[in-house]
Structure 1
């Protein structure tokens, strides 16, 4: 391959991941191949391409977001066979709304790259997922879309069921079938019970999950506080029990372990074990969408606990995630 060959974003991200695993973490080519689900020969070829194009000697030649993404991949649980991280670059003075939209755009493009007709999707709630839905441009047919949980419905940004309906509007009623779960007040009614159990079973087997992240503490949004109050849950008591975050209406600690609490009694939802099982599959995608420094602790726990196999975040959040881990070297060790 000629020097200065141009690579697309996907090729650059994969190259960055392989380079950092090989030169920074000193992993063997066969181990890298196994982690990434590719052949050792392809790993060797990519390393050769990187050397010919000058990426090995000078890390500055490679976009910083690709390098960050490669480092973040090392934070995933070793149970995840082929972790992926997408880091969206932003300048420090960008507004929160622009940052939110940027994450949504990245998530939409990722979904369009992996989606197909007949795909099954399970959605969590949250603003980032709402923005992803708004940014979808490609249409697919015969899509089955499920709620991950039947949570409170105060706000279209956080209500799972309303987001399912937003996707219905985006794709059109002839292209997809929505499957929603009853909320806390209705989940035990006989009229809903059987259908809800069937929906949960199907939702847990989805091809793609999109998960949001809720961090406890000062960063807990006003809507989430209202949801907690309505459910009769004191979020401060959850903190006292070592809970650092909530995703898909399940609480977890700093190790990413599910902590059984009032949410499990009051919300009908896909079990965390089912989500983690999907994340361990090479053929399924469990995508975590989150950004912002207040969510770093919860995000780090989710990656460690095996809650997903793909993270889409921004550059400042990625840098903060790495603060307690390996520092990003400005240069690779020369060959």
Structure 2
């Protein structure tokens, strides 16, 4: 049995034995059938995970997940335990493993699943084990970049995710930021883009990454922005972006002219998706993640402990310091 499976068994056991939640509540919170919850509790006992306390895992981490989920009224929270001695690559790898297991249980038959792009989501897909999802379609949530390694391109991620689930794919043939509002609106109103817009209106799951700084040197797509764009984003106090939609500390979209030039699902539409998942880590992204969480653009989050603690600190909450 792999580590992620054991972790899920331990989490279910914690919710049932320590948090005193019913199997029905756990089923609803985690999106797992109630009958499966019962079997998992039995397996947790069989594997020796349930004694007087949860063994092999940090129960404080589960307590932090539950606290954070309740505080922000989220559907699901998955927090990775990272060590300060670990490198950034090791922390990113741990996040990708946990996110892969999370996504694998989230995607079901007969769904429409949208995904944005970037190195975090690419690494998550690499870690995914194959699973068959009957009649499930995967589509991009934003246009592509101008110059980028092909493995991070949104169409590559859509294709690979669909392949892992034996599903169908839809692709986008436009860069995420256009030169003018007129060109962007022409694309969005064109016949070929009609299919993508229809999928965005009927999403069951959205999987997104989050950008947290305006430093173009760390970005894989912001060469599409001009110096004037950066000046305006700084002037309007942008703290981050999701699906290439920039927003401020309160989660309010900023720089209207750039919003109109962007080929990507809007944040308001993202908020309407039944399961919208942000996968991101790093204290430089905490402010952006907090803004998205407060504004209800996302209802599920996969991150690591240091990022979540920093989000609470920014929200003047030192409960887990």
Q: Same fold (TM over 0.5)?
A: yes
**Residue of structure 2 equivalent to 1:295:** 285
Match of 1:154 in 2: 147
Distance 1:306 1:188, change over 3 A: closer
> Of 60, 67, 70, which aligns to 2:63?
67
Measured after TM superposition, the shift of residue 194 of structure 1 is 1.5
Unaligned runs of 5+ in 1: 1-6, 23-28, 47-51, 279-283, 330-335
Change (3 A) 1:233 1:207: farther
Which runs of 5 or more structure 2 residues have no equivalent in the other structure? 32-36, 42-49
Q: CA deviation at 1:233?
A: 5.2
* Contact 2:110/2:136 (8 A) holds in 1: yes
Question: Residues 227-262 of structure 1: CA distance to partner in whole angstroms, max 9, x if unpaired?
Answer: 323xx7522421221221100121211122233523
Q: Is 1:226 the equivalent of 2:218?
A: no
Separation in structure 2 between the aligned mates of residue 88 and residue 294 of structure 1, nearest angstrom = 17
Q: Residue 170 of structure 2 contacts residue 196 of structure 2 at CA under 8 Å; is this kept in 1?
A: no
What are the superposed Cα offsets for residues 22-79 of structure 1, whole Å, 9 maximum, x if unpaired? 9xxxxxx9xx99x9599xxx9xxx9xxxxx9656xx9x99533212222322452x5x
Q: Which residue of structure 1 lines up, in the alignment, with residue 47 of structure 2?
A: none
How far off is 1:152 after superposition? 2.2
Relative to structure 1, is the Cα distance of residues 8 and 251 closer, same or farther in structure 2, using a 3 angstrom cutoff? same
Distance 1:260 1:234 in 2: 8
C-alpha distance in 2 between matches for 1:37 and 1:99: 24
Structure 1: distance between partners of 2:141 and 2:277: 13
Pairing partner for 2:319 from 308, 321, 327: 327
Give 1:206 deviation, angstroms: 1.4
What pairs up with 1:64-213 in 2 under 5 angstroms? Answer: 64-76=60-72, 78=73, 80=74, 83-140=75-132, 141-155=134-148, 156=150, 158-168=152-162, 170-171=163-164, 175-183=167-175, 184=178, 187=184, 193-213=190-210
Give the structure 1 partner of residue 301 of structure 2. Answer: 311
Name the structure 1 match of 2:46: none
Please provide the CA RMSD for this pair: 3.7
Listed as ranges, the matches of 1:14-33 within 5 Å are none
2:278 is paired with a residue whose SS is: strand
2:262 aligned residue (259, 267, 270): 267
Is 2:185–2:260's contact at 8 Å kept on the other side of the alignment? no
> 1:151 touches 1:267 (CA, 8 Å); kept in 2?
no
**Deviation string for 1:65-108 (max 9, x for gaps)?**
212222322452x5x5xx32111112112122222222111111
On the 8 A contact 2:30/2:76 being kept in 1, the answer is no
Q: Residues 299-331 of structure 1, C-alpha deviation per residue, up to 9 Å, x if partnerless?
A: 1111111011111011221222222314228xx
Q: How many residues align?
A: 290
